Amino acid sequence: MLATLKEHKPAMHDAAIRIAAAWDTPERKAVLETEFAGMEKISVDYAVMEKAKEVMVLQTPYKWDDVGSWQALERLHPQDADGN
């Protein structure tokens, strides 16, 4: 996954590597905030998975919903009487 990210989104890859390198250090919060703020706003699906050459799909015994929208969230937690 990292190799595909590096190939197609090198700036995002480099930022992720800098975040990982700082993760267990006192600089983690500052590095995370700086790097994440500068990263392209794109999902892993578009940045990596659609370009990956080797992808495996597994059938699972559970339901999956990619909660990427308010409609998806409502499928999991219907609105209450107040519309929340």
Contacts of 63 by beta carbon, 8 Å cutoff, 6+ apart: none
Q: What is the mean pLDDT of residues 18-44?
A: 96
Q: Which long-range contacts (CB under 8 A, 24 or more apart) does 12-17 make?
A: 12/39, 12/40, 12/42, 12/47, 15/39
Residue 78 lies in a domain: no
pLDDT digits (tens, 9 = 90+) for 53-82: 888 888 999 888 777 788 888 888 888 899
Residue 27 lies in a domain: yes
Number of domains in the chain: 1
Residue 69 lies in a domain: no
The range of the structural domain enclosing residue 39 comes to 2-55
The pLDDT of residue 55 is 87
Contacts of 8 by beta carbon, 8 Å cutoff, 6+ apart: 47, 48, 51
Residue 7 lies in a domain: yes
Residue 49 lies in a domain: yes
